[in-house]
Structure 1
Amino acid sequence: MNALWNALREEGVHNKLIAILQYIYTSARSIVQIGEANIPINIERGVRQGDPLSPKLFAATLEQSEGRLDKLQTINQRTTAYESAIC
């Protein structure tokens, strides 16, 4: 998720909004109901499915990564990139 927060910072998103988004995504929970038992589950990975904001956050991160790829040197018509250089 660090790539997401870094991408938002680089795009000029206000730190308070980033902090709110971090809170939302780090405190995400679901409840599974089996019969009459409710079992809370902390969501610890990925983005929230069905959340209308998730695709926009994904697109912002992807756009930031594409920008970094454009800056990398091209060797023999191929771009060499490592995850650490992109994210």
Structure 2
Amino acid sequence: MEIGAFTGSLDTISLNNALRYTFFSVGIRELVHHVIDRLGPNENVIDCDWWKNRPRKKDNTTAKRTEKMEYAIRAGLSEGLEIVPILHWRS
């Protein structure tokens, strides 16, 4: 799906159409949304302790895109976790 969306978006650039850049932008946007949803599934994000502690305005069952990206980067680690460097560089 992701490769097809990317190549399809690239193919729209070669069209002789005034909206080709719009089609390309929409395709890339949807590709990014698909990748974010794959790397940060909603169910996994809302199970994290750091997600539960954040204030919500209305919907308490759906993670925002930024929270899904944070989950993809942090892999569900809690906010208070101290990360100890594995390698100690000599100066």
Normalised by the shorter chain, which TM-score bucket? 0.3 to 0.5
User: Would you tell me which structure has more strand in proportion to its own residues?
Assistant: 1
User: Would you tell me which structure has more helix in proportion to its own residues?
Assistant: 2
The structure number with the bigger radius of gyration is 2
The TM-score with structure 2 as length reference comes to 0.34
The TM-score with structure 1 as length reference comes to 0.35
